[in-house]
Amino acid sequence: MLSEKSIPTRERLIVALDVPGIEDAKQLVTTLGDEVVFYKLGLELFMSGDYDALIDWLKAQGKKVFADLKFHDVPETVARAVRQLARRDVDFATVHGGNDAMLKAAADAKGGVRILAVTVLTSLNQDDLEDLGFQCAVKDLVLSRARRALELGCDGVISSGLEAAELRECLGERFLIVSPGIRPLENRLVDDQKRVVTVEEAFMKGADYIVVGRPIRDAGDPRAKAREIQAKIEDLFAGS
């Protein structure tokens, strides 16, 4: 299931900048240096008021940017928001995958931004879905949402590595799978992520990219941890 897309190996690691503000983000990016090319910016940074400035700074450093704002609103509002991101030279953006009109609006407005549909958050498990009223297995909901998103023009999906293999088997190779919830074996029960996999598991099941936040940010030596993960990725894709 190893991805055969022509993605530079070092870009397959996306680091989540889950920090309070722009100076914290810049410090982490500077610490990681050339070990990391791709960064995810989420809601915490958006609420800091420095989101656009950080995007511009990252692009000036030659980095790629994933705007993880998980748009979920009236379709026209989502379309307008996506157009704003396109003007800022963002590479990836997320839209919740539960509404066809919203997904199509985002896909139609994307310009150069690749739209990723969120299938099921990795912080949710089967019990959580049942509490929300879904009477189906997690993997079935992920597959259903992914299929519709791709038919509507999205470029890929956000999915746990646990479902990546089935997505590839059922939907093929011509879309992106970005997998968050990456945890070393020893860290699987220490935070709010429930559907987690290791670096190797995610890629061997068909992920194109992985998103890693806390295991790098909270490491004693973040640069060394990023280097360790990059080495694992390079070993996996050597000769591919």
Give me the helices (H) in 98-210, please. Answer: 100-108, 126-131, 138-151, 161-171, 199-204
Q: Which domains occur in the chain, in start order?
A: 9-237 (3.20.20.70)
Instruction: Specify whether the CB–CB gap between 21 and 48 falls below 8 A.
Output: yes
Which residue is it, tokens 């150069």? 112
Q: Does residue 69 come out as left (phi exceeding 0), alpha (psi in the -120 to 50 range) or beta?
A: alpha
Is residue 80 scored above 50 in pLDDT?
yes
185 or 100, which is more confident? 100
What is the pLDDT averaged over residues 127-151? Answer: 76
Our answer to whether residue 70 is catalytic in this structure is: yes
The single residue of 63, 70, 110, 205 carrying the catalytic annotation is 70
> To 10 degrees, what angle do helices 138-151 and 100-108 make?
40
Is residue 194 scored above 60 in pLDDT?
no
Query: Which residues share a beta bridge with 66?
Result: 40, 92
142 or 50, which is more confident? 50
- Distance CA(166)–CA(156), nearest Å, equals 14
Task: Quote the pLDDT of residue 151.
Answer: 95
100's CB contacts (< 8 A; 6+ apart) are: 148, 152
Mean pLDDT rounded to a whole number for the chain:
89
Stated pTM of the model: 0.89
